Structure 1
Amino acid sequence: MEIVVTGRHTQIKQRFRDVVESKMNRVTAIAPDAQRVQIVLSHEGNPRQADTAKRVEITVIAGRTVVRAEASSADEFSALDMALDKLTLRLRRTRDRRKDHRRGYSDPVPVDLGVVEPTPEVEETAEEEVEEPNNSPADAVAAELGPGESVEVQVGDTPIVIRRKLHIAEPMTIDEALYEMELIGHDFFLFVNKETGRPSVVYHRHGWSYGVFEIDTPENVAK
């Protein structure tokens, strides 16, 4: 299994790399087919956020399955442990779901076709980021990106950052999209609806209630 450790706004110390490698047996024990694990350590420089200054994101790629978890803490080692706990829980859910599907079981998923629009964010995957801090926002929007590539620019002297990423999504059902959303730990998931062919979003509403948001043009709807 390939293990990739990178840092954002921080240097990765050898001790952290050693601890990461020593703990990855927890991943292989649950997901022996895991091919790649990417750990991203970020540092928040704002002293007011010292309690969550270190954030660890872990992404596991096993075949066509991507499982992700993240956590923040005052130091990178406790953040790693917290993220790893979340990750192993999601890996177990993935393993159990595969077993149930082999037995012919399927989990009922309550879906609420509400119209509450979620705050859009771009889904992150385990691919390396391509940052171009010197580009303008217009260049970021117009840039040609490959699958998994991203571009991120700051708007002048403001704290506003624009990030664009190309995500290749295979058509899937709403049930499959909800499952993928739970695996990556997001409150929403972008996908292409297999039944309608429309770009869509599933998202958490409250409790066990979910929403589905589909996008289409007036011309297509009128056909």
Structure 2
Amino acid sequence: MMDYNIRGENIEVTPAIREYVEKKIGKLERYFNETPNATVHVNLKVYSDRSAKVEVTIPMKNLVLRAEERNADMYAGIDLIVDKLERQIRKHKTKVNRKFREKGEPQDYFAIAMNETAAAEVEEDTDELAIVRTKQFDLKPMDSEEAVLQMNLLGHNFFIYTDAESNSTNIVYKRKDGKYGLIETN
């Protein structure tokens, strides 16, 4: 059973919005063999320019579905989110089912039977996940500022390094808003 945790930032989550979200996201259940026991996290945010951002995260056992969309119309954003999640499921359904079978799961995660239109879109491209290049390099100890400088010098949008203080492997990356992010590992 899917439970819903719908949170609004700068907007009140009305019963109409809640019902619309549950109705639309509930359509995803048809892609599963068994309705997953998951809490659907929905974050609705309205900005000062009246645009809305919709984020949906569905954490399940061994799998997380996630999408976000920014749109002038919140209801249109919710529709687009559902479309994105459906595309993710259709695109990766066969690969996910195969991985679970290899791990010894008794049944497929996603339902195999779909309408013909969806089935045509699902044709698996085996080259899609093929690794076409491998690089090896030594991780130099440095701080996050130096890592950002190195990343920019290389013209990349991420950089992996060893943190000089913690000796852990970290990643700095350039965000869509032009600022920088840091991923710290344990």
Residue 97 of structure 1 aligns to a residue in which SS? Answer: helix
Any conservation in 2 of the 1:26–1:88 contact (CA below 8 Å)? Answer: no
> Which segment drifts farther, 65-74 or 28-37?
28-37
Structure 1 moving runs of 4+ over 6 Å: 103-106
Query: Is 2:131 the counterpart of 1:109?
Result: yes
Give the one of 58, 79, 88 matched to 2:56. Answer: 58
Change (3 A) 1:215 1:66: closer
Alignment-derived partner of residue 8 in structure 2: 7
Partner in structure 2 of residue 16 of structure 1:
17
Distance 2:10 2:84 in 1: 24
Matched letter for residue 109 of structure 1 = I
Aligned-partner Cα distance in 1 for 2:184–2:48: 38
TM-score (norm 2): 0.54
Closer/same/farther in 2, CA of residues 215 and 86 from structure 1, 3 Å limit: closer
Cα offset for 1:90? 1.6
Please list every run of 5 or more consecutive structure 2 residues that lacks an aligned counterpart in the other structure: 104-125, 138-146, 161-166, 175-182
In the alignment, which residue of structure 2 is the partner of 1:166? none
Aligned position for 1:95: 93
- The alignment status of 1:40 with 2:62, answered yes or no, reads no
Partner of 1:76: 74
* Pairs aligned (count): 128
Shift of 1:18: 0.7
Instruction: Tell me the CA shift for residue 84 of structure 1.
Output: 1.4
Q: Distance in 2 between matches of 1:10 and 1:98?
A: 36
State the TM-score, normalizing by the size of structure 1: 0.46
Q: For 1:117, what is the secondary structure of its paired residue?
A: helix
**Based on CA coordinates, which of the two structures has the bigger radius of gyration?**
2
Q: Closer, same or farther in 2 for the Cα pair 1:203/1:45, shift >3 Å?
A: closer
1:123-138 matches, within 5 Å, as none
Whole-Å Cα distance in 2 between the matches of residues 215 and 16 of structure 1? 36
Can you give the 5+ residue segments of structure 1 that lack an aligned partner in the other structure? 119-186, 191-196, 205-213, 217-223
What does 1:118-157 correspond to in 2, within 5 Å?
A: none
Percentage of identical aligned residues: 20
1:23-67 deviations in whole A, cap 9, x for unaligned? 123221224325121111001113xxx4xx111001011113222
Q: Deviations over 1:87-138 (max 9, x none)?
A: 12223344321233337989423456499738xxxxxxxxxxxxxxxxxxxx
Q: CA 1:36 to 1:198, structure 2 compared with 1: closer, same or farther past 3 Å?
A: same
1:199 aligns to 2:159 (yes or no): no
Amino acid at match of 2:151: E
**Counterpart of 1:199 in structure 2: which amino acid?**
T
Taking the aligned partners of 1:200 and 1:28, their CA distance within structure 2 comes to: 36
How far the C-alpha of 1:202 sits from its partner, in A, is 9.4
